[in-house]
Amino acid sequence: MVVTPDAATVDLVAPQSADAMRRVTILGSTGSVGTQTIDIVARNPDRYAVEALTANRNVALLAEQARQLKPRLAVVANPSKYADLKDALAGTGVEAAAGPEAVAAAAALPSDWVMAAIVGAAGLEPTLAAVRRGACVAFANKEVLVCAGALMMEEVGRHGATLLPVDSEHSAIYQVFDFDRVDSVQRLILTASGGPFRTKDRAFMATATREQAVAHPTWDMGAKISVDSATMMNKGLEIIEAHFLFGIPESKIDVLVHPQSVVHSLVEYVDGSVLAQLGTPDMRTPIAYALGWPARIPTPAERLDLVKAGTLTFEAPDPERFPALRLSRAALQSGGGAPTILSAANEVAVQAFLDRRIGFLDIERVVEGTMEALPHRPIRDLGEVRDADAEARRVAADRVAAVSR
Ligand SMILES: NC(=O)c1ccc[n+]([C@@H]2O[C@H](COP(=O)([O-])OP(=O)(O)OC[C@H]3O[C@@H](n4cnc5c(N)ncnc54)[C@H](OP(=O)(O)O)[C@@H]3O)[C@@H](O)[C@H]2O)c1
């Protein structure tokens, strides 16, 4: 099952013209992708109305967004924040709710378009709720496809939902991918900035701080994905995401380090043609592509000036310094619950690093150790996804405790 750009498949939910009013729900509205989505939505008040906004615990920003955009509902996943949210929304007419179930219920409300921008596997149930009502889902939350890719794509097909990739690399591929002639695709080439440690050796990485790891050279992103970029686990997760989104085997998905982040990814065809999508590194461009789809809408993103950009460089990734690429490929090749375990262990390890409980290189040790410790079981249903995720988190937490002792 691949995503399809055929507007006819979603004509119950997609706007029939660029001028039609579209109701949108933003899951993770207080995050990096969420706030940039709000930026585009707020610039187009005649085109978009907001149904629901959700966050985890950032009540102040969520309430500010709700006062500005007047959704029907605003939700915090953290139940202890309910009273704060209710107080902050008093007199606005916006309903407040709290808890993970309320986030999933927000996704199930009848909006035309849902931005899935929660970080981590916490986005699984809400994304599924949107998919199961056949919504048009703009998909940033890559961990969901990594932890439950096959099941998610089955649900997309079963319910006639549409997934529009938001990751800049997958948006690029989506824009140049020949969905009618998938056999003509020779390989996908995901570009990677290389992250803040692209030129650093392992000795430097061993003592790298949280501040150094989140200081991404080209993209301004949330803490978790920034650390994933530093380890290059982000690119590993993206290989898995691309496999499920486009139905292309792991052996035909390559990674190319491109520090300027201008070429956002490429598709090579059997005749030797290579098609790419280019732009300045600004997430509002892929967000707007998904928000406007099938039309294109303007964004304030800086225009690409290739003369000013000057030399564009490309290099092969270094699997010795960045073992996360190897671990991700091994998980995808193993199949079943292996990607679920990889992603859950990585979430635990990255959080421990962000909390300064373990060192930077301990992240890969925790992930690899968790993968080795757990049997690779098949995944037949969501219950098995949840079990594999929970077990991996337990084992990874033990390993974090052992490392930080
Ligand atoms: N940032 C980028 O440029 C970028 C690019 C491509 C893909 N992505 C992907 O997009 C997703 C979001 O990334 P981000 O950088 O925007 O992350 P972020 O800045 O950390 O924002 C995460 C959002 O999810 C909410 N959230 C966190 N934990 C939650 C939970 N347990 N339940 C419900 N909501 C929760 C947060 O709420 P609070 O603010 O209340 O904590 C926030 O709204 C990730 O999967 C990332 O890999 C991001």
**Length of the chain, in residues:** 405
Separation between Cα atoms, residue 165 and residue 179, nearest integer Å: 14
* CA of residue 38 to ligand 1 center, whole Å: 14
What's residue 146's pLDDT?
Answer: 98
Nearest C-alpha to atom 28 of ligand 1 is from which residue? 56
pLDDT of residue 212: 97
**How confident is the model at residue 84, as a pLDDT?**
98
Reported confidence tier of residue 17, pLDDT bands at 50, 70, 90: low
Distance (angstroms) between ligand 1 centre and the Cα of 285 equals 18
Split at pLDDT 50, 70, 90, the class of 16 is very low
Q: What angle do CA 280, 285, 290 make, to 5 degrees?
A: 155
Instruction: Please report, in angstroms and rounded to a whole number, the separation of the first and last CA atoms in the chain.
Output: 46
Instruction: Give me the helices (H) in 160-214, please.
Output: 168-176, 202-206, 210-214
* Percent of the chain whose pLDDT exceeds 70: 95
Edge to edge, the sheet with strand 185-192 lists 253-257, 185-192, 263-269, 274-278
Which residue, among 321, 355, 368, 32, has the nearest Cα to 196 in the 3D structure?
321
Q: What is the pLDDT of residue 386?
A: 96
Q: How far apart are CA 85 and CA 88, in angstroms?
A: 5
Average pLDDT over residues 291-297: 96
Q: Are strands 136-139 and 113-116 parallel, antiparallel or unpaired?
A: parallel
Q: What is the mean pLDDT of the chain?
A: 94
**Tens-digit pLDDT profile for residues 118-161:** 999 999 999 999 999 999 999 999 999 999 999 999 999 999 99
CA 222 from centroid of its chain's CA atoms? 11
**How far apart are alpha carbons 96 and 321 in whole angstroms?**
47
Q: Which atom of ligand 1 is nearest to the CA of 140?
A: 10
119 alpha carbon to ligand 1 midpoint, in Å?
Answer: 4
Task: Tell me, in angstroms, the distance from the centre of ligand 1 to residue 200's CA.
Answer: 27
To test the pocket of ligand 1, the residue of 170, 225, 346 to mutate (highest count of ligand atoms within 8 Å of its CB) is: 225
Q: Whose CA is nearest to atom 15 of ligand 1?
A: 222
Strand ranges across the sheet with 22-27: 95-98, 73-76, 48-55, 22-27, 113-116, 136-139, 162-165
Mean pLDDT of 366-383: 95
Going by C-beta distance under 8 Å and a sequence separation of 6 or more, which residues neighbour residue 312?
Answer: 258, 260, 262, 263
Mean pLDDT of 190-217: 97
Q: What is the pTM of this model?
A: 0.95
pLDDT value at 12 more than 60: no
Asked whether the predicted pLDDT for residue 367 surpasses 60, the reply is: yes
User: pLDDT at residue 405 above 80?
Assistant: no
38 Cβ inside 6 Å of ligand 1:
no
Q: Using omega within 30 degrees of 0 as the cis cutoff, is the peptide bond preceding 294 cis?
A: yes
**Ligand 1 center to 35 CA (angstroms):** 10
The answer, yes or no, to whether any atom of ligand 1 lies below 6 A from the CB of 216, is no
282 CB-contact burial (10 Å; exposed 0-12 / middle 13-18 / buried 19+): buried
Mean per-residue pLDDT for 207-232?
A: 95
- Residue 388, SS3 per DSSP: helix
Q: Per-residue pLDDT averaged across 203-220, rounded? A: 94
Per-residue model confidence as pLDDT tens digits over 96-130: 999 999 999 999 999 999 999 999 999 999 999 99
Tokens matching residue 114: 């849902």
Q: Is the pLDDT of residue 36 over 80?
A: yes
- Taking only the tens place, the pLDDT of each residue in 251-285 is 999 999 999 999 999 999 999 999 999 999 999 99
Q: What value does the mean pLDDT take over residues 328-356?
A: 98
